[in-house]
Structure 1
Amino acid sequence: MNRNKIFTLIRIIIAAAFLYNCSATSTEQSNLEEARKAIEASNEVYFTSFAKGDSSIFIDRYAKDCCILAPNAPALCGESAPLHFFKIAHDEIGLRNGKFIITQIYGDSKEFVTEEGVWQSFDKNNVMFDQGKYLVLWKKTPEGWKMFRDSFSSDKAL
Structure 2
Amino acid sequence: MKQLLFLILLISASYGVQAQSENASLQAARKAIEASNDVYSDLANKNDGSILTCYTADACLYPPNAAPVCGRDNMAKFFKNGPKVNSRFIIQHLYGDGQTYVTEESYYEMTDPQGHKIDDGKVIVIWKKTADGWKMYRDMFSSNHPAK
State how far apart, in whole Å, the 1-side matches of 2:145 and 2:16 are: 44
Corresponding residue for 1:63? 56
Q: Deviations over 1:46-82 (max 9, x none)?
A: 01124444431x1110011100000000100112243
State how far apart, in whole Å, the 2-side matches of 1:154 and 1:28 are: 34
State how far apart, in whole Å, the 2-side matches of 1:79 and 1:52 are: 16
Corresponding residue for 1:141? 130
State how far apart, in whole Å, the 2-side matches of 1:127 and 1:22 are: 43
* Secondary structure of 1:49 counterpart: helix
Q: CA shift at 1:84, angstroms?
A: 2.1
- 2:68 matches 1:79: no
State how far apart, in whole Å, the 2-side matches of 1:117 and 1:69 are: 15
Q: Indicate which of 2, 10, 26 corresponds to 1:32.
A: 26
Kindly provide the amino acid, as one letter, of the partner of residue 53 in structure 2. D
Identity percentage of aligned residues: 42
Where do residues 96-135 of structure 1 align in structure 2 (5 Å cutoff)?
A: 96-135=85-124
Q: Deviations over 1:72-127 (max 9, x none)?
A: 00100112243122126x2xxx2321111111111111210011111112223332
Q: Are the aligned partners of 1:68 and 1:81 in contact in 2 as well (CA < 8 Å)?
A: no
TM superposition score normalised by structure 1: 0.76
State how far apart, in whole Å, the 2-side matches of 1:103 and 1:111 are: 20
Corresponding residue for 1:14? none
State how far apart, in whole Å, the 1-side matches of 2:134 and 2:18 are: 21
Structure 2: gaps spanning 5 or more residues: 1-13
Root-mean-square deviation over aligned CA pairs:
2.0
Q: Are the aligned partners of 2:94 and 2:102 in contact in 1 as well (CA < 8 Å)?
A: yes
* Secondary structure of 2:97 counterpart: coil
Structure 1: gaps spanning 5 or more residues: 1-18
Which is higher, the Rg of structure 1 or of structure 2? 1
Corresponding residue for 2:140? 151
Q: Are the aligned partners of 2:48 and 2:80 in contact in 1 as well (CA < 8 Å)?
A: no
Q: CA shift at 1:130, angstroms?
A: 1.4
Q: Are the aligned partners of 1:95 and 1:122 in contact in 2 as well (CA < 8 Å)?
A: no
Corresponding residue for 1:42? 36
* Secondary structure of 2:75 counterpart: helix
